[in-house]
Structure 1
Amino acid sequence: MFVRIVKMSFQPDKIDTFLSNFEANKTKIRAFEGCQFLELYRDKNNPNIFFTYSYWDTENDLENYRHSELFKGVWANTKPLFNAKPEAWSVDKLESLA
């Protein structure tokens, strides 16, 4: 399993549009084959910055999602809302304490 972290910064007047789009698609993203976990975070000091954390069984599962019609639709609605280039990391989870 690995974790995908995406940092996104939005135009202040576009945040509600982003949140509506996320709300409409979060269940579909989470249900995508290989996705085991999905969370959305908002930066405490800069309310324009959001992070998604998603857990994937394999990198191939993430790539299948990134080439899917679902992703293309979500991204087409999200990309115009940014005020900075998004950043993404794929990381291996080494340890988790609950």
Structure 2
Amino acid sequence: MPAIKEGTQVSFKTDPTLLRKAKKVLADNGTDMTKTLNLFLQNVVERKEIPLMTEDELRRERLINQLQTEVAESIAEYKAGRSIPLEEVAKRYGIEDL
């Protein structure tokens, strides 16, 4: 990323918890808010689009990740022998045709 010769300071409102978490992620990745926001703006200009997922896409991704985790946990429980026999499930829920 080219060095910024003259800077314009920009301020915006955001959720303080979100900001704190974002700063930690950026620091863990060896960068900071200024570098990241400048990189974001460069991407917007170069691509002529917003290079981010929409809120719906983020929500979908979180749901998919959660479901994948739950399925993996269920498979591990099954393989470890911690499952309920089908007959017991049928009896417990009053299902006759299993």
- The TM-score by the shorter chain falls in which range? under 0.3
State the TM-score, normalized to the length of structure 1.
0.25
Name which structure has the greater RCO, CA cutoff 8 Å, separation 6+. 1
Q: Which structure is higher in strand share?
A: 1
Larger Rg: 2
Q: Which structure is higher in helix share?
A: 2
State the TM-score, normalized to the length of structure 2.
0.25
